[in-house]
Amino acid sequence: MIHNHRFRVNSLWLFILFMLPLPLLFAIYQELPSLYQGEKIGINAGLIAYTWMLAIIYLATKPKWLDKKVGLPDMYLVHGMLSIFALLLAWLHKYLSPSAGWIKTSGDFSLYVFTGLIVYSLFFLGGWFTSRVKPAAWIKNSLEKIFKHEFSVWLHRLNIVATLVVYIHVWLIDYLRTLPLFFFLLTLYTILTFASYAWYLLITNRSLMPGVIKEISFVSPTILEIVIKAPRTSLKKIHAGDFIFLSFPQIQALKEPHPFSVANDPRQSGSIQLLIETVGDFTNQLAFVTPNTPVTFSKGYGVLHEMIQKTTPSQEIILLGGGIGVVPFFSILSEFKEKTMYFFYSIKKEKEFLETEQLETWSQEQNRTLFLQKGRFTKAQLQEHVPLHEEAIYLIAGPMAMNLAYEAFLIDHGIAKEQIYYESFSW
């Protein structure tokens, strides 16, 4: 359950941070000539940074087996944080192991590309920074009109080029290239990583499933509802609580797959329902899509379904949602009818509740308890109405500030971190 999930995430961090670079570090320890022992710290910093960059490329392929273990949002978090750690070590390597000529040129090229891309990604490809720093959010919103989502995705792929140049950078260093075990391992790591990325590019389009827009309309001034018709064999690959990557192959600005949470149980309803807030350049373009437009979509990603499936019949499930973040909870409430659930749903005062008819239906079911409110629930309200005990699990979905506030409230009232989970696309 959630305890196992946290263990898996921590294990992933442990493996990437320490176990993955270890063979290369061992090879350097065994083979580095005594003449260059003084540069060992700088060399090791560069090797660890390179190993982490290879791990970042592999995580970018969204491996399905790893999603089922830790979930794609946590993989994105590892991807983003690891990029910053690798960049810091790369700069340390530059100053501790100075070079000249093509060795310096290749190293500097990759370093500057990595630096530029990470700064750019903090604004345009992740929400961790912009959700916490208001001026950064303002800058992002202003520049999004120029730097479209498609451009950001393609620019991010310069990481592949820069990483390949790093390999060339190492190959140009004579005393490293002649170390047999070290260079064999370095080459093996590189080949395996780039082979996995090539395979990902090869099968991505083939693995996407076809569908067609059945209905599309605004259910509020900023919320767009999209219903996708697709073969039932495809719908069986999506569970309640999942999100899918959706693309429009015939629309140039919407060709790059974009993640959206599923609002229903596709296997039960025979279609995919999405509720999307039109706030970015990609989502704003969706307003111009018409019925019968062909789409492609991925299999379902996410761990919410498995977490709920593994709860015992007596366990209570507490859903704390806000704004558009509640969408995956709608699908969970639809599928797991036998589970006892408390659903706390808050929206901004100027907004309207979604799925009002469904909410009315759920409120009349014996094992459903709903609390709806305009404005965030206060600590006093949460303390009065939220069941607080060690047998329950607590799932949170909403703006990052709300997620953190609710998590802090639960921990302050004796709920263990192992009982709390929220998905965040912060990276």
At 297 the pLDDT is: 96
Quote the mean pLDDT of the chain. 89
Q: Return the sign of the alpha-carbon dihedral for residues 305, 306, 311, 315.
A: negative
Rounded Cα gap, residues 58 and 191, in angstroms:
12
36 neighbors 43 (Cβ within 8 angstroms): yes
- pTM for this predicted structure: 0.84
Rounded Cα gap, residues 93 and 40, in angstroms:
10
Percent of the chain with pLDDT over 70: 91
Q: Which residue stretches of 208-265 are H helix? A: 232-235
At 153 the pLDDT is: 72
How many CB atoms within 10 Å of residue 279? 12
Considering the segment(s) 208-297 as one domain, its CATH architecture is Beta Barrel (2.40)
**Domain edges within the chain:** 2-205, 208-297, 312-422
Percent of the chain with pLDDT over 90: 65
Element (H, E) at 209: strand 209-218
- Both tokens of 172, joined, read 């140009």
Q: If you search the block for the tokens 């192959």, which residue do you land on?
A: 249
pLDDT digit string, tens, across residues 283-332: 888 989 999 999 999 999 989 998 999 898 889 999 999 999 999 999 99
Q: Please state the rounded mean pLDDT for residues 226-252.
A: 93
pLDDT digit string, tens, across residues 114-148: 999 888 777 665 565 556 666 656 666 666 666 66
How many CB atoms within 10 Å of residue 37? 10
pLDDT digit string, tens, across residues 20-42: 999 999 999 999 999 888 889 99
Rounded Cα gap, residues 355 and 347, in angstroms:
13
Q: Please state the rounded mean pLDDT for residues 372-377.
A: 92
Span 312-422: which CATH code?
Answer: 3.40.50.80
Q: What is the CA radius of gyration of the chain?
A: 24
Rounded Cα gap, residues 397 and 422, in angstroms:
6
CA separation, residue 399 to residues 321, 324, 346, 405, 424 (Å): 9, 9, 11, 10, 9
Name the pairing type of β-strands 420-422 and 393-397: parallel
Residue partners of 320: CB distance under 8 A and separation at least 6: 344, 386, 394, 395, 396, 397, 398, 406
- Both tokens of 249, joined, read 């192959």
